[in-house]
Structure 1
């Protein structure tokens, strides 16, 4: 079954808007785990606008051995203030998976994948270091990406397909082209020996269609829609709804 990894960034956004410790990111993650999710995802950024390094550490200590732990981020973003950098955080907490994402400081959210043709040389030493730490390495790619053989050659084990354009097309009733592009990208990645993850703007409305089109989908990372839907139905019920879709 495809693993549901719940991104808890939005819990931290709500907490940070008021200050203090509520809502509690760790408690939210444990609620998702108790509901049956197979992973927790965080995406710390240098500006600390949601998940902070202390959250990354607290979650690692709490969920270790219970579910997979996926840390996303830009490996080229410099350390500053309380943010030690993505690779340093990985050294500290040894997550199950590190997903490398080329987001800039100015982006509200991730909106594109790596250009593998040009970025492979820069990524190579970072992937090697993460593998030495015992982390599975995934890289964020656009639907339509190629050069998967080159990614395998530097030690990448998974790709995460950026599903924002698919979700937008689904909402507008013109899903066929984007869905076919995602499916072909997944096919090429699997053929190269990579496992396939997916994430961004996936929701209860569009996840079933996507899952049916991507045989062998290993993991979906879902945060924004899931937390939004949980405001109406509750976190436990919402996680279980997603798990039912993935079944």
Structure 2
């Protein structure tokens, strides 16, 4: 069974836009787990524009499923993860100025750096995953780093699937097969949604986990909107 880890960055974005503590990030994390999700994902960035570093600490005792912290392994991020010791750390090569993750690691060029970082995390009992594209050479490079898993960057698949190109899943299937043969676990994330997730799951062998945030929160807003509007109307009668 493929686990669902819910990325709650967008909840923090909404909270930060108004100040205060509405919505309550910690309560949302508790509720999401009670609703059946098997993990909570956060992706703190240096400017703390959504998840704040303090949120990462505050969530530690709240997350009773799997706790996944994503990010670029700069010094502050390394210190944060090593202090919290989540279930999993997902390494993402984000620049400070990007709105959202837009590329996977070059595991050949950065292999020595990734080996060093991954060794530190694994020595502290933290499962490691590398955010990566479907290039088979890069999958082989990921195995050489000592990582436990890869997270397939699925934006290209999602974009093409929306246009009706179901063949766009093929490179992901091939990457997953190779990763499994090399002893890597397989995660996936980015632009997966209610429209494409079932097809993706059916075509990716040994898919351990998906991390979904923006789409899931957006879909939740829309699918719940009619109910909330009606509740307000009822109270105003």
Superposition TM-score, scaled by structure 2 size: 0.92
Residue-by-residue CA offset, 1:8-30 (whole Å, 9 max, x unaligned): 00000001111111111111111
**1:158-169 correspondence to structure 2 within 5 Å:** 158-169=149-160
Unaligned 5+ segments in structure 1 are 79-84, 236-247
* Corresponding residue for residue 71 of structure 1: 69
Cα gap change, 1:45 to 1:51, in 2 (>3 Å): same
* Corresponding residue for residue 106 of structure 1: 97
Matched residues in 2 for 1:89 and 1:160: separation? Answer: 21
* Corresponding residue for residue 229 of structure 2: none
* Corresponding residue for residue 136 of structure 1: 127
Counting matched residue pairs gives 225
Counterpart pick for 2:163 among 146, 149, 172 = 172
Superposition TM-score, scaled by structure 1 size: 0.88
Q: Cα distance, 1:92 vs. partner? A: 1.4
Tell me if the contact between 1:146 and 1:188 (Cα under 8 Å) persists in the aligned partners: no
User: 25-34 or 149-158, which moves further after superposition?
Assistant: 149-158
* Corresponding residue for residue 35 of structure 1: 35
Matched residues in 1 for 2:34 and 2:138: separation? Answer: 39
Q: Which has the higher contact order (CA 8 A, sep 6+)?
A: 1
Aligned-pair Cα RMSD in Å: 1.4
Residue-by-residue CA offset, 1:75-108 (whole Å, 9 max, x unaligned): 03x5xxxxxx211111111000000000101111
Matched residues in 1 for 2:206 and 2:115: separation? Answer: 26
Residue-by-residue CA offset, 1:180-216 (whole Å, 9 max, x unaligned): 0111111111110000000000000000010000111
Matched residues in 2 for 1:58 and 1:99: separation? Answer: 19
